[in-house]
Structure 1
């Protein structure tokens, strides 16, 4: 763990703890070592780090969140999926949706809705997007154009920066497929270059 940078708690000008995702990341940093040091030692390290990093009301708030977070982790029971799980099968998709919903419900039970959103909001929206992507790709009744339109709708539910990254990957995948089709035809080098230049810029297209 020595090579992993630990995040810092944030406080506002009034000395109150800022509730955001980095709190979760701090807890998970210490929890990574639970299989080596044991849960009790990890909990002591979390408490010690809170006391070293914060003061006053912020310390008490962080300790309260830590207690609830550890309860959540201790009661979290989700379905484990193998790397080669076939998500084109409806049964596996149903199990995945159930596992994601169980995780959300457990968070809200032990952390509450507001804290769950602050700590896991981005992660949950990405999970929902990933599920929608699997659902769309597994639907053989949809055309490629229809799938692309549904993917764009799913992306709109993501945080803007994340949505931009997913949109870029989707458009790049379409570009690659288009170029591969053109490569099988004659006299398309100029057209391929133009496509790459429009997407990546002329300097990158030259290198490619």
Structure 2
């Protein structure tokens, strides 16, 4: 679990830069009216984050950044110009004209920051998972942010994430400290827990809770529990709304596995067909993939072949 936290904490800007790589290289396009239909990857989701104002002034907070990131996550499915137009339309719908204009200017600076992350991520001195490298990477990212945002803006947009990442890195460094015995490590971990605000402590513990719940569900299914019993188990632990979302994920995963199994059978038949030469076999496989999967889903097929 801590390894997963490390990956999230120490590569905070790396993933963001990777997602925004095309921002630095994509040629300008004519402004396009945003489509009201969601991107394929966002079907079934709700817009994350939000935008609020106090009169004519914009309230800058982490929710606003989450709104930006939600729309930017469709990069690759939509052009950058289309995403910008969609963000601006969303801001206009949520805010007064003056506050919306302020938010649009902030969004443009946020895009500039994302572009700058691309160059930072290419620095070989900042690659690797060692705690010292992770600290250098986080510090470099925060220094870069100061080129685009005021101190107040930076704190409002990134303050919660910074504290979470610092806590995660402190825990990793503590666990890797060979000079401390297990008892001392537990004592210091408890001190770190006590120093966190309750909502951040809950967020840090939530992945552990879901992993434990998933293990319990797997054991229950192995013992013969049906979907209704699993729902009741989940609802008792994380609430009915979360249990319903997990049940929907189960159904989606089952449907995906069913499609994969059908694909595997058809793929095996094509590969075993002695009447096909290599060119015809390749064409048949491409037709099979195109008929059964979207462009995004076909990227996942490589893991199953």
Fold conserved between structures, TM > 0.5? yes
| Structure 1 counterpart of 2:175, from 129, 137, 142 | 137
Please name the residue that 1:55 is paired with: 96
Please name the residue that 2:77 is paired with: 36
| Structure 2 counterpart of 1:128, from 150, 155, 166 | 166
Q: CA deviation at 1:166?
A: 4.7
Residue by residue over 1:124-160, the C-alpha shift from the partner in whole angstroms, topping out at 9 and shown as x without a partner, is: 1111111111100011110112112222333344333
| Structure 1 counterpart of 2:196, from 153, 158, 166 | 158
Please name the residue that 2:114 is paired with: 73
SS for the counterpart of 2:52 is: coil
Q: Distance in 2 between matches of 1:96 and 1:22?
A: 25
Q: CA deviation at 1:51?
A: 2.1
Q: Distance in 2 between matches of 1:53 and 1:169?
A: 32
Residue by residue over 1:164-194, the C-alpha shift from the partner in whole angstroms, topping out at 9 and shown as x without a partner, is: 5657999xxxxxxxxxxxxxxxxxxxxxxxx
SS for the counterpart of 2:132 is: helix
Residues 122 and 159 in structure 1, CA contact (< 8 A), matched pair in contact too:
no
Please name the residue that 1:46 is paired with: 87
Please name the residue that 1:101 is paired with: 139
Unaligned runs of 5+ in 1: 171-203
Q: 1:127 to 1:39 in 2, by over 3 A?
A: same
Structure number with greater CO (CA < 8 Å, separation at least 6) is: 2
Q: 1:152 to 1:113 in 2, by over 3 A?
A: farther
Residue by residue over 1:10-30, the C-alpha shift from the partner in whole angstroms, topping out at 9 and shown as x without a partner, is: 123x34322111100110011
Residue by residue over 1:63-108, the C-alpha shift from the partner in whole angstroms, topping out at 9 and shown as x without a partner, is: 121111111111114559xxxx995xxxx22211111111111222
**TM-score between the two structures when normalised by the length of structure 1:** 0.68
| Structure 1 counterpart of 2:185, from 138, 141, 147 | 147
Unaligned runs of 5+ in 2: 1-41, 209-236, 238-305
Q: 1:156 to 1:101 in 2, by over 3 A?
A: farther
SS for the counterpart of 2:117 is: coil
1:81-92 pair list within 5 angstroms: 92=130
| Structure 1 counterpart of 2:148, from 110, 116, 132 | 110
Please name the residue that 1:10 is paired with: 52
Q: CA deviation at 1:123?
A: 0.7
Residues 128 and 134 in structure 2, CA contact (< 8 A), matched pair in contact too:
no
Residues 17 and 62 in structure 1, CA contact (< 8 A), matched pair in contact too:
yes
Residues 11 and 18 in structure 1, CA contact (< 8 A), matched pair in contact too:
yes
The size of the alignment, in residue pairs, is 162
State the Cα RMSD in Å.
Answer: 2.7
SS for the counterpart of 1:11 is: strand
Residues 57 and 99 in structure 2, CA contact (< 8 A), matched pair in contact too:
yes
